[in-house]
Chains A and B, each alone.
Chain A
């Protein structure tokens, strides 16, 4: 076991982690621990753009952007945070441009902008061009630009270091972050990083679904690490299903395709979104479009022999426009489906895409231990966190924005904290939990296999807690997850070695997914209303009287060692927008 000491430790090297690292490195001695090489992060898979009311191509302002964000999130958004997001969006985009990001340009050389779902002019009047983009590879460009600037700033990376535990020490009755424990993939060695400040920026947890746009590596490692140490997770029942994933594969096809004029059609060729969202049509918010697609499928208007998908039609758009604005997604259609998007519509279905919930933070990125108490020295930003700027449903292009605005804020706040704070003493035997976990898995002889449990988990999540949910389906999921968690205790792996043991890694990742899936299902069961991405067929309406509040889920361990989930609730911050009925 090795012990390292840094002022600031950042967990994860995607957009939020690297944006934080650029700030933190300038101000404090910083290490970035990442289970993947930095440019492998799933930020690179984001396509359509980053929202900011630059007003480069038409009238726009950050106040409209705030409103759209609040409405898009079905009023569960904390409005003070949404205001910061929309206001700081403008400088965030300009900062990236100055760092070198090659945005698409307008004829007069400024950053070009295009339409995106849920973004509107003057509080819902009509779609507005707010998304700043670089073809359909905006996330790739952001990730590359941030890495380039990390190289420039000399950011210190520990690549393929997998953080498995959050260390917390109680000082004078206050729980403080003391550091993290990481597993080095190349050698199997365990490292303790003592740090004054720790920032989690480790991404989402979509891999508990089967059809998902998420990378194999998005297994909720950060959320699980803090949750196991008794800290809460907020709004985990809210998961976004992106309307246009490649049929059966789940690979993302950007909403920018509809922003450029693409149309969703059912088996009769009908533009069905006109029925569900007369004003915004195909550019309604994602939860609305995904539900509409499944309604078409359920009512027998799906495409294909099994009627299990609909079409994204780009055939009326000029090939030059597709080549210039959507080169990557048209190539995906050719590579994976053998379809030519110039002439044929693309079969799509909703795909599990984004966790609105996560580790609760305030607007400085400080992690909360309950509804109000900050954990000194602990920060989170990006998909792993819940500020909450996305509420019950995130708008497209607001996540690339989130990682930049709140990644930067967390980086600055953490470094400023570590400039004045002292190191917190490490707990006794700090690596104990991780050593035991790794040793147990490496020597286990049980008959259960990781792959089988993961498959059953993904199938039950797809079947029971996806776009449509009921008390019955959620209960089925809770029961199944409980059974899988039992079976997980009896799991064994084949690779017993220390060097690059990805077999072991996958077993640990599965444990994280199981924990988070349970939190998600239990939180969903208790929310007896429909709001944003959480749609209950048995409670089809939003219920502001009883449920205009954030869910806070805590792990509790009884005297007998039995684990359970305790749910609590936190008020939503409302400033200027009163909840209204949501229509697009």
Chain B
């Protein structure tokens, strides 16, 4: 396959060669391409770049899109790990492209980039997120209360607030759910992200919908499908202890205490 290249130093007209401290190195990005308008088959394509290894994988993808191949398609927005748009499989592991520095993933070898697994690929690195969001919506991810609302805020102690702090960090990027082997094999499984968001409310002292959510997750496609492989915890770009949260939900189902 042809390998388009781009010489950053030459392009910028900078006398980079000869400078021992030139930050640029040559990196090969091996990207899984798929565009059903062109071919029903997916294939790998290599791109070689001169790039500063302190840059992000997202910077490399932009360089490819903007300077080599405008048809390369991926989602992105904030570019610093908060919007959750650019989860992808980089060197076989789910990460956010905007939070992964090239130097941290061994740029000596080709860096592989492909769409996250378990969701239908629509084009290149873009997948159909709808089943993922449907599972999220199914766990009733909103505060459920009864009775009259207080005039001021509901009180909550700092300790009670801390109880579910970890799971409030979720950005719905799907890195966890699409790293889960159970989800790969059975798209009906709610998946880690939905359970994380159920956890966020089940353990919120203000919420009164815990029982309903637990019943939903007691389903055959609920928490019991989890095989505790810890892929989700490793994949989470927000550092949420996803497997632990799932275990806490399982325990709440057994003890009915939360």
Contacts and interface: CB of A to CB of B under 8 A. Distances in A.
Interface in B94-138: 99, 101, 122-124, 126, 129, 133, 136-137
B123 A215 contact: no
Contact of B153 (A37, A98, A251, A449): A98
A40 B173 CA distance: 9
B101 A335 contact: yes
Interface string B170-189: 11100000000000000000
A229 interface: no
Tell me the dominant secondary structure on chain B's binding face: loop
B84 A40 contact: yes
Interface stretch (A145-153, A292-300, A389-397, A464-472): A145-153
Given A36-B85, A104-B161, A97 B153 contact: yes
A339 to B, nearest CB: 12
Interface in A311-338: 328, 332, 335-336
A497 B84 contact: no
A451 B62 CA distance: 10
Q: How large is the interface on A (under 10, 10 to 19, 20 to 34, 35 or more residues)?
A: 35 or more
B143 interface: yes
Contacts of A432: none
A100 B167 CA distance: 14
B8 interface: no
B76 A216 contact: yes
B42 interface: no
B71 A503 contact: yes
B73 interface: yes
A40 B82 CA distance: 8
B67 interface: yes
B10 interface: no
Q: 4 closest A-B pairs (Cβ-Cβ)?
A: A100-B143, A494-B70, A109-B155, A451-B66
Given A215-B83, A335-B99, A499-B35, 6 more contacts: A44-B78, A45-B82, A100-B207, A109-B155, A110-B152, A498-B37
Interface of B: 35-38, 65-67, 69-71, 73-85, 99, 101, 122-124, 126, 129, 133, 136-137, 140-143, 149-150, 152-158, 161, 164-165, 168-172, 201, 204, 206-207
19 contacts: A39-B171, A40-B78, A42-B77, A45-B78, A45-B83, A102-B165, A107-B158, A108-B155, A149-B142, A186-B122, A215-B77, A216-B78, A216-B79, A249-B80, A335-B101, A450-B66, A451-B66, A502-B65, A503-B70
Interface of A: 36-37, 39-42, 44-45, 93-94, 97-100, 102-105, 107-111, 134, 137, 140-141, 144, 148-149, 151-152, 186, 215-217, 249, 251, 328, 332, 335-336, 449-451, 493-495, 497-503
